C-alpha cells in the first residue's frame, strides 16, 4: 500500500519535472540547453555506476571504454546502414552489454583492486583499437549525426534542444529501469552479495551469475550514455573517451552517493557546474591561465577524497539517515534506526 | 639480431615496470591498498628531478633529488590520507572500494596541482648518456649505453632493497608488519611508522621508474603523458603477475611483461601497444590467478 503510493508520487514527479523542463528549455539560452543535455548523459552514466559499484560492489574504472563501444556501434550503423536513430541507440545498448558480459565474466573472478586495475587497463587500451580498423575512422573518428529535429516541433526548435529532449527522455527511461531493477529481487541479490558473499551464497543466490548480470546491465546503460554523448559532440573519436571520462563518471557517482539512486541528478549537475564555478572563482582571484584551466580538476578530485572520507554514502543518504533518526526520536521510540 | 634486439628492449622496459611493480608491492604489503596514485607520484618526482636538472645541470643529482622528494611525498600521503581513510572509511557499504576511490582522487589532485605549477606543456629531461645503439661487427643494436645504465641502476637498487629486507633489523620489522601486524606490534615493532616507511620506499622506487621511463622514451613529459598511464597499468600488471606480495615476484613480473610486450609488438602488430597489457593481464588472471609466486588460492582482497 505504502509502496504503491510512493511509486505514483514518483511518476507524478517525473511528469511534473518534464513539464518544468519543457518550459525551462524554452526560456534559457542555447548554452544552458546544451549543458542540460550533458547533465542528462551524465545521469545515465552515473546510474550505471551506482548499479554496478554501489549495489553489486564491483568497481569499474573502464566505463569510459564501454561508453565508447556504444558510441562506435551507433555511429557505424548510422553511417553504414543509415538506420533510424532510435535503433542506433538500441544497438549501442546491446553492443556495450555484450562487451560488459565478456568483461563481467572475467570480473566475477576478481574483486576490489584487481577488478579496478583490469578495467583501468581496458580504459587505456580499448580506445586505441579505433586506429586498427578503418571502419572506425582512426584518430579523426566518425561523424554521428542524429538529424534535424522533426518539423512538427516548430521552426523555433533548435538542434541543441532536440539533443536535450532525446537525452532527457533516455535519462528518464533509464532512471525508471534502474530504479525498478534496484528495488527488485536482482537488486537485493546484488546488495546481499556485496555485503557478504558467502552468506548470500548460503541463501541460494548464485553470486557469480548475479555479478555478471550486474556488469552486463551496467555496461548496456553505459553504452546508451556513450551514444548520447557522441550525439551531443557530433563525432565519435578515441579522444572523446579518455581515461578522465571514466574517472569523471565514477566521481559523479561517489558525489551523488554511490549506494543510492536518489542523488544521481545532483552528481551530474555538480560535474557540469564545477567547471563554470571554478572559472568564476579563478577570474575573481585573477589567477593565471594554468590555474584557471586546472581548478575544476582539483576541485572535483578534492571533493572525491573528502566525500569518501567524511560522507561515504553521499550527502543525500546522509541527510535522509539524519532525518530518519531525528523523526524516530521525536516519535518517542528509542529504537535505533539503521 | 632482431631477436636479440627485441629481447633487450623488452628487458629494459621490463626493468622499469619492475621498479613500478615494486612500488605497488611495497604499498600493498604495508597498508593492503593498491595505490592508483602511484603513477601520479612518479610524475611529481619526475618534476622534482626536472627542477634539479635545470638548476644544477646534472642527471646524477636529479636522480637522488627525485627519489628523496618522492619518498617524502609518499610518506606524507600515508601519514595524512591513509590514516584518515583507516579512521573514517574502514566500515560501511563502500569500505571495499573506498581506498581505490581515494587514491584515484589523489591522482587527480596531483595532476591538477602539477599542471598549475609547471603548466601543461611538454618539458624535457636530457639523458645523461647516449641512447644511440652499440655497434657490434658493423651492425647497430637497439641496445644503447642509456639502456645499459637503466639496467645497472635498477639492478643496484634491487640489490640494496634485498639487503635492506633480508639483512637488517629494519627489514625484519618491514616483513613482520606485512605478514603479521598484530604479532609484530606485540614484539615491539612500531607498525605505524613501518607502514609510513613502506610508502616512502615505494615513493622512491616510483621516482626512479618515472625518471627512467622519461629518458628511455624521447625525454619529453607532461601532466597528460600517456607514458605515465602506461606506467601505472604496466606496474600494476607486473605486480599482479608476481602475486602482489613478493618483491622477487614483482621483478619477475616486470621482466616477463616487458619481454612479452616487446615480442608482441615486434612479431604480431605494433598497433597492439595499448591493448597488449590488458590482454596479458586477462590471460594471467585466467590461467594463474594467484600469480607466479603468490600462494593464496584466490584474488580476494
Beta strands in chain B (DSSP E): 123-124, 135-136, 139-140, 220-221
CB-CB contact of B248 with B59 (8 Å): no
Q: How far is C-alpha A99 from the chain's CA centre?
A: 17
Split into its structural domains, chain B has a count of 1
Average pLDDT, chain A: 82
Provide the residue range defining the domain that includes B177.
2-287
For residue B199, is it within any domain? yes
Residue A219's Cα: distance from chain center in Å?
Answer: 10
Please give the ipTM for the structure prediction: 0.86
The upper half-sphere exposure of residue B193, i.e. CA atoms within 13 Å in the direction of its Cβ, equals 7
Q: Which of A50-54, B223-227, B287-291 has the lowest mean pLDDT?
A: B287-291
Helix runs in B32-58, H state only:
38-56
Per-domain residue ranges for chain A?
2-242
B283 touches chain A (CB under 8 A): no
- Specify the pLDDT at position A173: 86
Check B236 against A121: CB less than 8 A apart.
yes
**What SS3 state is found at B244?**
coil
Q: What is the pLDDT of residue B208?
A: 94
Task: List the alpha helices (DSSP H) in chain A.
Answer: 2-27, 30-49, 63-81, 85-107, 112-125, 159-182, 185-195, 197-202, 207-233, 243-256, 264-285, 289-310, 315-330
Let me know if residue B295 belongs to a domain. no
Q: Is the pLDDT of residue B299 over 50?
A: no
Q: What percent of chain B has pLDDT over 70?
A: 94
Q: Cα angle at B195 between B193 and B196, to 5 degrees?
A: 65
- Identify which of B70, B27, B24 has the alpha carbon closest to the alpha carbon of residue B47: B70
Q: Which of A56, A115, A117, A300 to mutate to test the interface with B (most CBs of B within 10 A)?
A: A117
Highest mean pLDDT among A23-27, A184-188, B39-43, B282-286: B39-43
Q: Is B120 part of the contact surface with chain A (CB cutoff 8 Å)?
A: yes
Query: Could you tell me if A117 lies within 8 Å of chain B, comparing CB atoms?
Result: yes
* Angstrom distance (rounded) from CA A130 to CA A109: 28
Cβ pair A310:B229 closer than 8 A: no
Q: Is residue B281, in this structure, part of any structural domain at all?
A: yes
Task: Check if A20 contacts B (Cβ < 8 Å).
Answer: no
pLDDT one-digit tens code per residue, B101-143 = 899 999 999 999 999 999 888 898 888 887 777 777 777 777 8
> pLDDT at residue A28 above 80?
no
Instruction: Say how many CA atoms lie within 13 Å of B131 toward its Cβ.
Output: 14
E strand residue ranges, B169-263? 220-221
Q: CB contact, 8 Å: A338 with chain B? A: no
Ramachandran category for residue A82: left, alpha or beta (phi over 0 → left; psi -120 to 50 → alpha): left
Mean pLDDT of B62-67: 93
Neighbours of B153 (CB within 10 A): 16
Rounded Cα distance between B97 and B87, Å, is 15
For A280-290, the pLDDT digits (tens) are: 888 888 777 78
Report the CATH number at residue B49: 1.10.3470
Amino acid at each position: 500500500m505504502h509502496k504503491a503510493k510512493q511509486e505514483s508520487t514518483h511518476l507524478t514527479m517525473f511528469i511534473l519535472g518534464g513539464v518544468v523542463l519543457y518550459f525551462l528549455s524554452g526560456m534559457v539560452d542555447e548554452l544552458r540547453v546544451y549543458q542540460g543535455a550533458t547533465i542528462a548523459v551524465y545521469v545515465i552514466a552515473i546510474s550505471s555506476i551506482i548499479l554496478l559499484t554501489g549495489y553489486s560492489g564491483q568497481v569499474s574504472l573502464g566505463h569510459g571504454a564501454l561508453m565508447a563501444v556504444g558510441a562506435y556501434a551507433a555511429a557505424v550503423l548510422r553511417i553504414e546502414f543509415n538506420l533510424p536513430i532510435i535503433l542506433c541507440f538500441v544497438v549501442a545498448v546491446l553492443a556495450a552489454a555484450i562487451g560488459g558480459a565478456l568483461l563481467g565474466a572475467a570480473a566475477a573472478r576478481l574483486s576490489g583492486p584487481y577488478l579496478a586495475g583490469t578495467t583501468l587497463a581496458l580504459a587505456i587500451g580499448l580506445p586505441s583499437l579505433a586506429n586498427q580498423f578503418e571502419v572506425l575512422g582512426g584518430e579523426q573518428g566518425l561523424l554521428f549525426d542524429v538529424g534535424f529535429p522533426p518539423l512538427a516541433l516548430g521552426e523555433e526548435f533548435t538542434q541543441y534542444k532536440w539533443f536535450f529532449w532525446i537525452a532527457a527522455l533516455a535519462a528518464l527511461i533509464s532512471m525508471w529501469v534502474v530504479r525498478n531493477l534496484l528495488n527488485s529481487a536482482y537488486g537485493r541479490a546484488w546488495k546481499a552479495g556485496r555485503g557478504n558473499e558467502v552468506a548470500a551464497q548460503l541463501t541460494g543466490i548464485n553470486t557469480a551469475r548475479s555479478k555478471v548480470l550486474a556488469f552486463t546491465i551496467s555496461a548496456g546503460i553505459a553504452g546508451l550514455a556513450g551514444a548520447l554523448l557522441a550525439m551531443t559532440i557530433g563525432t565519435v573519436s578515441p579522444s572523446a573517451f579518455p581515461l578522465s571520462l571514466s574517472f569523471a563518471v565514477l566521481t559523479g557517482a561517489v558525489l551523488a552517493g554511490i549506494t543510492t539512486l536518489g542523488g544521481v541528478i545532483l552528481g551530474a549537475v555538480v560535474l557540469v557546474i564545477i567547471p563554470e564555478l571554478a572559472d568564476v572563482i579563478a577570474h575573481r582571484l585573477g589567477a593565471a591561465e594554468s590555474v584557471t584551466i586546472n581548478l575544476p580538476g582539483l576541485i572535483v578530485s578534492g571533493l572525491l577524497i573528502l566525500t569518501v572520507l567524511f560522507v561515504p554514502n553521499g550527502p543525500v543518504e546522509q541527510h535522509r539517515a539524519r532525518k530518519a533518526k531525528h523523526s524516530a526520536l521525536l516519535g518517542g521510540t528509542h529504537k535505533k534506526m539503521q | 639480431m632482431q631477436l636479440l634486439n627485441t629481447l633487450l628492449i623488452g628487458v629494459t622496459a621490463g626493468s622499469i615496470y619492475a621498479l613500478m611493480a615494486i612500488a605497488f608491492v611495497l604499498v600493498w604489503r604495508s597498508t593492503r591498498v593498491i595505490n592508483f596514485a602511484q603513477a601520479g607520484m612518479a610524475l611529481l618526482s619526475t618534476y622534482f628531478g626536472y627542477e634539479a636538472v635545470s638548476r644544477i645541470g646534472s642527471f646524477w643529482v636529479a636522480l637522488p633529488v627525485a627519489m628523496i622528494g618522492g619518498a617524502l611525498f609518499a610518506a606524507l600521503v600515508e601519514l595524512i590520507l591513509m590514516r584518515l581513510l583507516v579512521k573514517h572509511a574502514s566500515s560501511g557499504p563502500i569500505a571495499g572500494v573506498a581506498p581505490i576511490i581515494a587514491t584515484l582522487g589523489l591522482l587527480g589532485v596531483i595532476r591538477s596541482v602539477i599542471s598549475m605549477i609547471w603548466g601543461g606543456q611538454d618539458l624535457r629531461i636530457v639523458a645523461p648518456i647516449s641512447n644511440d645503439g652499440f655497434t657490434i661487427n658493423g651492425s647497430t643494436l637497439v641496445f644503447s649505453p642509456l639502456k645499459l645504465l637503466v639496467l645497472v641502476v635498477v639492478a643496484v637498487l634491487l640489490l640494496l632493497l634485498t639487503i635492506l629486507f633480508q639483512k637488517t633489523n629494519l627489514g625484519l620489522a618491514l616483513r613482520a608488519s606485512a605478514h603479521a601486524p598484530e604479532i609484530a606490534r606485540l614484539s615491539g615493532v612500531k607498525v605505524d611508522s613501518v607502514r609510513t616507511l613502506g610508502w616512502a620506499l615505494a615513493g622512491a622506487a616510483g621516482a626512479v621508474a618515472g625518471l627512467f621511463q622519461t629518458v628511455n622514451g624521447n625525454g619529453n613529459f607532461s601532466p597528460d603523458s600517456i607514458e605515465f598511464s602506461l606506467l601505472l597499468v604496466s606496474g600494476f600488471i607486473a605486480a599482479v603477475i608476481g602475486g602482489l606480495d613478493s618483491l622477487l615476484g614483482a621483478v619477475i613480473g616486470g621482466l616477463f611483461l616487458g619481454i612479452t610486450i616487446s615480442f608482441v609488438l615486434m612479431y604480431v602488430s605494433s598497433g597492439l601497444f595499448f591493448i597488449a597489457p590488458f590482454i596479458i593481464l586477462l590471460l594471467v588472471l585466467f590461467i594463474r590467478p594467484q600469480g607466479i609466486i603468490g600462494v593464496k588460492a584466490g584474488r580476494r582482497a
